[in-house]
Amino acid sequence: MYNVREQSRTMVDNQTIIVGSIASKRSRLGPLINNAAYQSLGLNYLYVSFAVTEDGLKSAVAGMVALGFRGFAVSMPHKEAVIELLDRVDPVAACIGAVNTVQREGDLLVGYNSDWIGAVTALQEVCALKRRRVLLLGAGGAARAIAYGLSQHGCDVMICNRSASKAVDLARDFGGAGSALEDAANFDYDILINATSVGFGTQECIVEPSMIREGAVVMDIVFDRPATPLLQLAASKGCVIVPGYKMLLHQAVFSFELFTGCKAPIAVMEQALLQ
């Protein structure tokens, strides 16, 4: 079994390929997951993370290009703003309106979105998606990517958000219907997804216990722990739960394979993430 502590022994030389990430705060998990994967396959890669302000985004991207980075991950609040700094955007990322993965392809910077891939793959590990009724909570960037993914897999989606107009707008873009968050209790579902930040670092739960339907699939994109308040509540009612770290894992798999051209060692990456 791979020991994540081994990543501290990474050696860097003039052949090392550098991959990075940019966000409002430095990522702890990105380097942990990816460096574990590189070392397990004997790849001469190194993953590093950077805290970048909104005003510093253009300079950060230019710096990565100048330093020869193979690519970089993009987290909030830069997923939309980075688009204008790229040479090309994948059609799916353009449709979603956000980029979370950038790769150098020759002299070009090309943007992709793997948020929807991470969410869909995590759900498909526990259920089929076609014709499932999905209650999606939230209408921000993550919800938008997930709504796109669900639309591609034949789901019947109800989007509920504190701002009902944003839910309606999102439903108009990708199909389904939109409503206010307080209306969520009125809708039946097979799959419930919390695509908001409610529960991140707190014991707050986005729904009342009466909203949890026994036997449903419940996914929470909050990834700061395996069992958020929502998932604990769902588990107590016999639901199939999908923790947010699963979405994070499969996003990392996408970028790893894009940057390296190698099949990702998923078991190693998940072990590093959980440790």
**Residues annotated catalytic, as ranges:** 79
Among residues 50, 70, 68, which one has the least CA distance to residue 60?
50
Strand residues in the chain grouped as ranges (E): 17-23, 45-51, 71-74, 88-89, 101-105, 108-112, 133-137, 156-161, 177-180, 191-194, 217-220, 240-242
Distance between CA atoms of residues 99 and 138, nearest Å: 19
Distant-in-sequence, close-in-space partners of 225: CB < 8 Å, separation ≥ 6 = none
Query: Is 118 within 8 Å of 254 (Cβ atoms)?
Result: yes
Residues 6+ apart with CB under 8 A from 240: 126, 127, 215, 216, 217, 218
Distance CA 106, CA 104 (A): 6
CA of 218: how far to CAs of 109, 123, 239, in Å? 36, 9, 7
Residues in contact with 254: Cβ distance below 8 Å, sequence separation at least 6, in sequence order? 101, 112, 114, 117, 118
HSE-CB of 243 using CA atoms within 13 angstroms: 15
How are strands ordered across the β-sheet holding 177-180? 177-180, 156-161, 133-137, 191-194, 217-220, 240-242
